Amino acid sequence: MLNHQLYNDLLLKFRQQYHREPAVVAYAPGRVEVLGNHTDYNEGFVLSAAINFGTFFACAPRAGDTCRLTAGDLMQEVSFRTGALKPSREHGWSNYVKGVLSGLGARQPLTHGFDGMFLGDVPLGSGLSSSAALEMCAGLALEKLYGITVDSLSLARIGQLAEHKYAGVKCGLLDQISSLFGKTGTLVETDFRSLSVKHVPLGRDACLLMCNTHAKHALVDGEYNQRRAACEEATAYFATVLPHPVTALRDVSWQEWETRHAGLPELVARRAAHPIGENERVRKGSRLLAGNDLAGFGQLMYESHESSRTLFENSCPELDAIVAAARQLPGVLGARLSGGGFGGSVVALAHPRDAAGAAAALATTYRHAFGRTCDTCVLVPSDGARLVPR
């Protein structure tokens, strides 16, 4: 599902900025995490979806080794050389493209520069992964421009490495895989140990609502990395006390956590409990969707949010208020924070006939509680990243 107006705006701005047509255009969607929070880097399971908001990246070859990159919404341009790529503090948005270009350049020499521009409609800071959308559309466009062949999982890893080395966020592969492997009308179920993907139909009786709180959502301040470090500490502990191999929290059952967690520092034990419980919820949720038990699936979403709030502590008052309000609405079956947390968005499950009323009610409740607007919209599970025919 492409936003043709956004695409046309990108082409117009590209012509105005560079006085020529782009040679390649690619598109990648954002993603919503429906169930499975902070399980990806713990080699667990996630149910996610590519969504009907995304980013376009247009580029054309340029003589020499200089690259010019423009953020189409800001119309700000930065220049850098293919052989001297390093993160920028002043223009942080450029780091995602630089990181991807570096990853591609490690596979094949970059023989020329480029003129590039990106433009998207994924709400920034909403927890819908505008960064992965940018990485994946830039990756597809630049590999085409340079004649580099990269399979989808390798491209996802290049995007992940860009986050690690250029943006300073030790993310897993959830965002990139969701953006690449989306399929209309389905959730993407990913096993982050085998990196196998399957598609689970959401069904016609359900839709997803996004409630963007505009609350702070800055994972580079260290909170995300602290949670990951706690998970790694817990993994190392369980590997010494359980009678079977443990290489990630995916290998620890809830029952094993209950009987063995006393040997961990209390805070680390609570942090570990969240992804362990999430893994079990995802596997149960997939079975419930297969049986069209939307009410049961929605209850798992509420349980997921409560775990985020009390165990992982990656929620915030704004997100909690929306989830609490959703529980009181008969048209909403489930709700939880989506993404890394610490702000951003809530995703809610509702019947399509109830979506408009639920969205209005949640927005009103939020405005009364916080005195500011909460954006709401319907998220449509959509196809993943691809090149746009020229």
Catalytic residue IDs: 175
307, 278 Cβ separation under 8 angstroms? yes
Question: How far is the C-alpha of 182 from the C-alpha of 89, rounded, in Å?
Answer: 32
Pairing, β 196-201 against β 186-191: antiparallel
Report the 10 Å Cβ neighbour count for 347: 26
The set of residues, in sequence order, having a beta carbon less than 8 Å from that of 317 and lying 6+ positions away, is none
Tell me the CA distances in angstroms from 92 to 102, 166, 262, one per residue in order: 16, 9, 42
- CB of 224 closer than 8 Å to CB of 169: yes
What is the Cα–Cα distance from 268 to 230, expressed in whole angstroms?
Answer: 5
Q: Which amino acid is at 383?
A: D
R_g of the chain, CA atoms, integer Å: 21
Cα separation of the two ends of the chain? 17
CB atoms under 10 Å from CB of 8, counted, come to 10
With CA atoms as reference, report the closest residue to 324 among 370, 286, 378: 370
Contact 61, 327 (CB under 8 A): no
